[in-house]
Amino acid sequence: MTHATGWTQARGALAQGARSAAEGGSAASELGALPEWNLADLYPAHDSPRVTADLAQAARDASAFEQRYKGRLNEMARRSGAELAGVIREMEALDDLMGRLASYAGLFYSGNTTDPVRQKFYGDVQEKLTTASTHLIFFALELNRIDDAVLDEAARDPELGHYRPWLDDIRKARPHQLEDRIEQLFHEKSVTGAGAWNRLFDETMAGLRFDVDGTELSLEPTLNLLQDADGSRRETAAKALSKTFRQNLPVFTLITNTLAKDKEISDRWRGFTDIADSRHLANRVEREVVDALVEAVREAYPALSHRYYAMKAGWLGRDVLDFWDRNAPLPSADTRRIPWDEARDTVLGAYGRFSPKMADIARDFFDKGWIDAPARTGKAPGAFAHPTVPSAHPYVLLNYQGRTRDVMTLAHELGHGVHQVLAAPNGALMAPTPLTLAETASVFGEMLTFKALLGQAETPEKRKILLAGKVEDMINTVVRQIAFYTFERKVHAARREGELTSADLCDLWMSVQTESLGPAIRLGEGYETYWTYIPHFIHSPFYVYAYAFGDCLVNSLYAVYEDAEAGFQDKYFAMLSAGGTKHHSELLAPFGLDATDPAFWRKGLSVIAGFIDELERLDA
């Protein structure tokens, strides 16, 4: 398996931090002026001569790199670690150039995925970068053929030693790499294979319209109505979602079957024994650690989601809740729209109380045009933070609608952004963070913001509302994501036995949802189609457990912080600044935390249970 070059990571990073938060329409006058990002820090425009020139340079440099170094890496390693390090630096510069192009194309496309001009530009750039990067496939493969003793000796040179974490990472993939020509075929076919199916999903989803009381809405505003204070409005939106999803089941079923089979072929050729092992390898986390997390969360369903939703049903005067009531606001909840300036000040204030340094980094996103906040027709749904490349800076995409959850989403994505800024000095090869740890700063940023809001609660009722909102977010982050992971495992396992029908997929979805949500949620007709719109299933199979990993990790981490351990902030920034240079065990050790210990997961889950306990006391 070849090393994913920086441009490939940048392309995939559009999914990193993505949250399927429910957003919806609101008058601009309520929210104030919403920022739109300025992509000129990457390129002046999609038709800029600089784009054309850089694409040509990437093609030339990649070809020249192959001609200069293919077949020579072993002798260079034997001769001089510094010489091999010089070649890696050239590779890193190429990664940065190609990553800049891929990042710009992806962000430009995300602004309106239904625009034919953007679609063509995005597709053309992907294709040209894929062609150029075929010349780089040899590099990781050849490095992995160098004898361990030879590479160890060469890495004694400080210049090559600097890249030791990256070398160790690609060496972990050595058992799964294939012969050079097969790797090249897999790589080139990705444009017409998985990449094409991903694009079909994005463009299909962006083009869907949902009839809500005679008004056609796109996905995000319709999802947002599931949080409306009016129960009939929630029901109408839920049924509109179900109707349109059902009408498009054939295409989403075909996409899911095709991508699951595509992954099975790749896994089989590469010798992965478990359907999620390739994700675990990319995340640098052991299968046993993930299995322990999943088992702990599933065992906690009754104490968490089942208990909370039964309590919420009582608050809403019901024995059970229909699925469209799951995220309904409480009767006394403040449903006002939160202006953008207030959201900004809330998050920056929370960050600043933790560390002025953290707030200063986050403030750049607001002041320098690094955020795109409005919900627009055709815009990519949800939210994400894109790291781009170390020579530039991250960007954040939101669909801001002024809900409290939108403020928390802003805090979440800015956490990613801060993390990405701090990790960037590690360079294009070692800045990217495994997904399991990539959610640390984002969830920590959410917790800081939540605690700040909770501290401002003036009455027990307001505290209850905030706690309920946080519990729902944590259930969505932990319980729901582990249920999603369980669904994916069932889908990919079943696909190995043959194609799945739409009914098969819907049945698998309902089985995991029934288990995770519990008896207080009535999963009525129409809900069986809701698997169709989850982008992580398409873009990043088995990504979703990273959310639960990050939430439980941060719950434990925050407990250490609240114990007022001296020097916590310095340790925290050191963890984020490490980027992809350290294993999770090394990063957590300074805090006295160990993800291999089952008690670690139970401790994280106990934080959620503790919030539910407090809600029960407030309700008494």
Domains of the chain from N-terminus onward: 6-198 (1.20.140.70)
Using DSSP bridges, classify how beta strands 384-386 and 395-397 pair: parallel, antiparallel or unpaired.
Answer: antiparallel
Among residues 36, 111, 34, the alpha carbon closest in space to that of 402 is found at: 34
How is 337-397 classified by DSSP, letter by letter?
---HHHHHHHHHHHHHHH-HHHHHHHHHHHHTT-EE----TTPPSSBEEE---TTS--EEE
pLDDT of residue 565: 67
Q: Give whole-number Cα distances, 559 to 408, 418, 502, 562, 563, in Å.
A: 20, 21, 44, 5, 6
Least confident range of 4-13, 150-159, 301-310, 408-417: 4-13
**Token couple for 8:** 């490939």
CB contact at 8 A, 350 and 377 = no
**Token couple for 237:** 């939106």
Tell me the average pLDDT across 567-582: 94
Q: What is the pLDDT of residues 517-547, one digit of tens each?
A: 999 999 999 999 999 999 999 999 999 999 8
pLDDT of residue 381: 85
Tell me the average pLDDT across 416-428: 96
In angstroms, how far is CA 577 from the centroid of its own chain?
A: 19
The yes-or-no verdict on residue 142 having pLDDT over 70 is yes
pLDDT bin (cut points 50, 70, 90) of residue 598 is confident
pLDDT of residue 59: 97
The yes-or-no verdict on residue 131 having pLDDT over 60 is yes
Share of the chain above pLDDT 90, in %: 82
pLDDT of residue 21: 38
CA distance 108 to 159: 37
In this prediction the pTM is: 0.85
pLDDT bin (cut points 50, 70, 90) of residue 60 is very high
Of residues 206 and 18, which shows the higher confidence score? 206
Q: What is the pLDDT of residues 151-206, one digit of tens each?
A: 999 999 999 999 999 999 999 999 999 898 999 999 889 889 999 999 999 999 99
Residue for token pair 């299995």: 291
CA distance 133 to 59: 8
User: For residue 211, what are the contacts with CB-CB under 8 A and spacing of at least 6?
Assistant: 240, 243, 244
Q: What is the pLDDT of residues 216-269, one digit of tens each?
A: 999 989 998 999 999 999 999 999 999 999 999 999 999 999 999 999 999 999
Tell me the average pLDDT across 441-468: 92
- What 3-state DSSP class applies to 215? strand
Provide φ and ψ at 425, rounded to 5°.
Answer: -60, -15
Amino acid at site 35: P
CA distance 48 to 64: 25
pLDDT bin (cut points 50, 70, 90) of residue 14 is very low
pLDDT bin (cut points 50, 70, 90) of residue 457 is confident
Average pLDDT, the chain: 92
CB contact at 8 A, 465 and 599 = no
CA distance 606 to 610: 6
pLDDT bin (cut points 50, 70, 90) of residue 95 is very high
Among residues 387, 385, 369, 388, the alpha carbon closest in space to that of 443 is found at: 385
pLDDT of residue 49: 98
Share of the chain above pLDDT 70, in %: 95
Q: What is the pLDDT of residues 342-396, one digit of tens each?
A: 999 999 999 999 999 999 999 999 999 999 999 998 999 889 999 999 999 999 9
Tell me the average pLDDT across 569-598: 92
